[in-house]
Amino acid sequence: MRGIALAVLLVLLAGCSSVGLTNVAGLAHDLRQRGVDPSSVVIPFEVTDEMRAWVHAQVPDSGSPETRLDRLLAAIVDPAGLGLSYEGGSTNTAREAFGSRKANCLGFTSLFVGMARELGIPAFYLGVDDVERFERDGDLLVISGHVSAGFAVSAGKIKILEFTNAPKTDYRHIRRLEDLTAIALYHSNHGAELLRGGRVNEALPWLHKAVEVDPELADGWIDLGVGLRRSGNLAGAEAAYRRAL
């Protein structure tokens, strides 16, 4: 696959320990605790029965978690397997990535995390602060970050399972994202993509949902501020920007 960097990195991350599997009931409880109706939220790492059958056929039940994760990564990108290819500019769910065989870094991470957990391996989302891209789109300055999948090999040691079209690099600033933050990030990204397409009214519910799910997601408040400004709600936009700060 030309232009795709496929890598497995091993790094030290202070204060990051292994996490357990998050089930739907657990997420629903956490969302209700934040006053969010679980039925109003898209869980980007949910998998279907077809995806479950596929991953169990591709990855044996025996072997170390690290070996099985390597096998999963290879099966996802191998043309003889899923043949996933990189496509920027559109954030999709694990289900959508599996169906289209295309994903950006967040879509890949949702796919990988969902399938790894189906195998009983507690993979999680990682935010990578070393990678940022900037571009102009009309009156917008679009800042694109990077997300990848991780697995806690031991206390403080993280295995990163990477899928990107950026040059391979040694990451120094990574952080584990909780599931609710990853869910909020998906909603925020999807809303931002609708904004870039001029679909402000469609974007606003997604952007509001992002900050409901994770009120500490600063990027979500920035995106909501842009949406509110474009809708003519200047006071609301200023409030969202101040919350981001």
DSSP string, 162-186: EEESSPP-----EEEEPHHHHHHHH
Mark whether 61 and 146 lie in a shared domain. Answer: yes
State the CB neighbour count (10 A cutoff) for residue 4.
15
Q: What is the model's pTM?
A: 0.84
| Span 190-218, pLDDT tens digits | 999 999 889 999 999 999 999 999 999 99
Q: Are the C-beta atoms of 84 and 97 separated by less than 8 Å?
A: yes
Domain boundary among 177, 207, 233: 177
Tell me how long the chain is: 245
Res. 172 pLDDT band, cuts 50 70 90: low
Mark whether 86 and 52 lie in a shared domain. Answer: yes
Mark whether 65 and 108 lie in a shared domain. Answer: yes
The more confident residue out of 132 and 227 is: 227
Mark whether 136 and 16 lie in a shared domain. Answer: yes
For tokens 């920027």, the residue is 88
- Structural domain containing residue 148: 5-177
Mark whether 229 and 188 lie in a shared domain. Answer: yes
Res. 152 pLDDT band, cuts 50 70 90: confident
Q: How far is CA 62 from CA 50, 53, 184, 213, in A?
A: 21, 16, 34, 37
- Nearest CA among 222, 159, 158 for reference residue 192: 222
Please provide residue 144's backbone torsions phi and psi, each rounded to the nearest 5 degrees: -110, 120
Mark whether 91 and 155 lie in a shared domain. Answer: yes
First and final C-alpha spacing in the chain: 40
CB half-sphere exposure, 69, CA atoms < 13 A: 27
| Span 45-89, pLDDT tens digits | 999 999 999 999 999 999 999 999 999 999 999 999 999 998 877
